[in-house]
Amino acid sequence: MKTKNTGFIRLYFATIYSCKGLKAAFLSEPAVRQELAAICVLVPIAFWLDISVVERLLLILSLFIVLITELLNSAVEALADRVSTEVHVLIGKAKDIGSAAVFVSLILAMLVWGMILLT
């Protein structure tokens, strides 16, 4: 039985696996690339705007919530495709729910940006 790593060794390997996941998502998912491009444009704008620290944090957090949701959706889709490539009601439902989560996170980001920029 393999022993589990602990402490900084576990943190080191977790970081390696996370970087591999980010790279895989970047290379295989156009939506991830689009969201990262939006982050690269909008985060500097958030720092340029004359707003409070809390408002700036909300703007940036809303962007990262979209990216996090997209990464989780991509993971669900990859797992669903691994389980079965045939059309199945439950797999379609899981993919649709993941897509809905991304959609809701995008609405949240638009609301946050809209409300802060318009007030």
53: CATH: 1.10.287.3610
Q: Is residue 111 part of a domain?
A: yes
pLDDT (average), residues 52-61 = 98
8 falls within a domain: no
Question: pLDDT value at position 57?
Answer: 98
Judge whether 4 lies within some domain.
Answer: no
Asked if residue 20 is part of any domain, the answer here is no
Mean pLDDT of 109-118: 98
Domain count, the chain: 1
Has residue 87 been placed in a domain? yes
**Residue 112, domain member (yes or no):** yes
Classify residue 42 as exposed, middle or buried by CB count within 10 Å of its CB (0-12, 13-18, 19+): middle
Residue 101 DSSP SS3: helix
* Inside any domain, residue 41: yes
Could you list the residue range(s) of the whole structural domain that residue 111 is in?
A: 30-118
- Let me know if residue 1 belongs to a domain: no
pTM for the structure as a whole: 0.90
- Averaged pLDDT for residues 31-44: 98
Share of the chain above pLDDT 90, in %: 88
Q: In the annotation, is 55 catalytic? A: no
In the set 29, 35, 55, 70, the catalytic residue is 70
Residue 6 confidence class, pLDDT cut points 50, 70, 90: confident
> Does 62 have pLDDT greater than 80?
yes
Q: With b meaning 16 or more CB within 10 Å and e meaning fewer, what string describes 46-76?
A: beeeebeeebbebbbebbebbbebbbebbeb
